[in-house]
Amino acid sequence: MLPSILEFALLAVGATAIIWKASGLLERAAERLSVYYGLPAVVQGAVVVAIGSSFPELSSAVIATWLHGEFDLGVSAIVGSAIFNLLVIPAVSGILGDGVEADRTLVYKEAQFYMIAVSVLVITFALAVIYNPVEGMRLGGSVTRPLALLPIAFYGVYVFTQYQDTMDHDAASGPGDVDVLKEWALLGVSLALIAGSVEGLVVAAKGFGTLFGTPNFVWGLTVIAAGTSLPDALVSVRAAKNGEGVTSLANVLGSNVFDLLVAVPAGILVAGTAAVNFAVAVPMMGFLTVATVVVFAFLRTELSLSTGESYALLGFYGLFVLWMVLETMDVTALVPGA
């Protein structure tokens, strides 16, 4: 007897709930460790907290590619998560925090490197199509381990720039009552819980694809993307409510940089090689690029995101969801195979 829609829905909800709970543990440990080591706010958000809260996306790419042989599902989950992070999380943070403040370092350094990250991933996929074409796929290419190292190398440059900020930062003394070993252990437990729950999301996404007769990547863009974005949302919204707008926005940008430059290649490094459908990837990356321009335009005005602009971002994400629905109903055909 085949599982029903309700069973897959319960699996997705249960997995998402565990990710949400584990993300609370992760946020607590990452935040206390960042303060303990005296890292500046932008580094806390863009590296330490961002990597920790992006572990669900990393898990989804590795699990989908390695265990299920669904690289497109992993990529769509990453891109969908990046779109969710970029539009929904700052929007909710701005609404609940009565606006979000930014600074020039965030807008000019973090934003520019994020745009480079989007370009590097597109170039990596294009190189796969040019040099390793897949027979039977009009715009398909095989992404190999050497190609996967290209975006990872760029992430190394990103970490180096953040390290330079840390070297120049005059850190205040951290709290003396932090049990460092306990916090690292708590961080490890939360990551293990998240990894197990992501497997449930991947199974649910594949199940929805089978039941509704739709490509799995559509569900990766929605179900997996929303579920794995909860840690980012939790971290950023709480930071915004506490008046830490720079940390909130830096977490979003840092998480997306990690997702694009590390999480996607990680699945390839584990599996050895993976075929990418460029005709599917480019429209998704194109929408991500447009969303990026919109967000940065809002942030550049007075170096803040107002409540009105936050609602505009939510509306823009609504258009993305509507587009995905129209694609599955064959009303539009901008994504071949949807």
175: in domain? no
- How does pLDDT run across 287-314, given as a tens digit for each residue? 998 998 898 888 887 778 888 999 999 9
Partners of residue 140 on adjacent β-strands: 277
Mean pLDDT value across residues 69-77: 83
173: in domain? no
CA distance to 33, 127, 227, 242, per residue, from 66 (Å):
32, 22, 20, 39
Mean pLDDT value across residues 136-143: 87
- How does pLDDT run across 173-184, given as a tens digit for each residue? 555 577 888 888
Report which secondary-structure segment, H or E, holds 101. strand 100-101
What is the reported pLDDT for 209?
A: 83
Mean pLDDT value across residues 74-81: 87
Structurally, the chain folds into a number of domains equal to 1
268: in domain? yes
132: in domain? yes
174: in domain? no
Instruction: State the Cα–Cα distance between residues 196 and 63, nearest whole angstrom.
Output: 10
111: in domain? yes
CA dihedral (173, 174, 176, 180) in degrees, to 10, reads: -140
What is the reported pLDDT for 318?
A: 92
273: in domain? yes
We report the CATH number of the domain holding residue 133 as 1.20.1420.30
Partners of residue 275 on adjacent β-strands: 142
What is the reported pLDDT for 55?
A: 80
Instruction: State the Cα–Cα distance between residues 30 and 280, nearest whole angstrom.
Output: 35
